[in-house]
Structure 1
């Protein structure tokens, strides 16, 4: 089984980065790869609370739904939640996402971890999607500051 870890520094306070992950309007503004639009996004950031979003791309002919359940919510430093695509051909199954946020001189260091993936191809596909989404998160955080 493969795992994915991404470490990234955002030029924003930790509380704001945490809010961008847990406020549905903020999450919808950046969630998904470039060229995708997130809609129908909802969050209930508490242990046992659910989240979901729909991402679409007319250019790519893609309409997918993703959802999960929060396992741990420790504002503003840690989020743990399940992640599952809601379409029949999904071969990834349920993964667990862990996000640790650390203060770094007015910025935020984020360690993102997702596992397990059935193979490296699936892991790498998610890596590309998350990295482009995090570029959009940079823009969202700049707008929110």
Structure 2
């Protein structure tokens, strides 16, 4: 190997993995429950301009979840769902996520891994979703989830 040889390392997932960290002013069990209880999910899930109007969840490993985000402005309905892969109450939630395609079949599947860590009376939530097909889709989800997490923060502050 000569002095002029260089190695090119590429990261095939660059820009296609979403990680969001948030501290919520609530204990981990309460924050976890907001992700586990469909009635509570309806109160915060979805960005402000596309709030959830339907949520169902069979919270068990192998159980399915399904939701619909609805735009009041355009009437567009965005159906999506997945399957629970790992559940540790108050600590971790792992599930698949896929938007419905026009023919009703699931589109590209990503994996969502959420951890809930106690910080005094608060919770550090680490949300990771991967791997997106494009950086643009990753950025779109970043906007959507952050808007939803703003709504979750408001909900938790009322409890």
Q: Could you say which structure has the larger radius of gyration? A: 2
TM class by shorter chain equals over 0.9
**Alignment match of 1:46 (pick from 57, 60, 63):** 60
Match of 1:9 in 2: 23
CA contact 1:64–1:87 (8 Å) conserved in 2: no
Match of 1:98 in 2: 113
Shift of 1:91: 9.9
Match of 2:51 in 1: 37
Shift of 1:36: 2.0
The reply on whether 1:117 has 2:132 as its aligned counterpart is yes
Structure 1: gaps (5+ residues):
none
**Per residue, is there more strand in 1 or in 2?**
1
CA contact 2:93–2:113 (8 Å) conserved in 1: yes
Per-residue CA shift, 1:19-65, capped at 9, x if unaligned? 00000010111111112231221111110011111110121442111
Following TM superposition, where does structure 1 have runs of at least 4 consecutive aligned residues deviating by more than 2 angstroms? 87-92
Match of 1:136 in 2: 151
| TM-score, normalised by the number of residues in structure 2 | 0.86
CA contact 1:92–1:118 (8 Å) conserved in 2: no
What SS does the corresponding residue of 2:73 show, helix, strand or coil? coil
What SS does the corresponding residue of 2:43 show, helix, strand or coil? helix
The CA distance in 1 between the partners of 2:135 and 2:19, in whole Å, is 13
How many residues align? The count is: 144
Shift of 1:87: 2.3
Match of 2:82 in 1: 68
| TM-score, normalised by the number of residues in structure 1 | 0.93
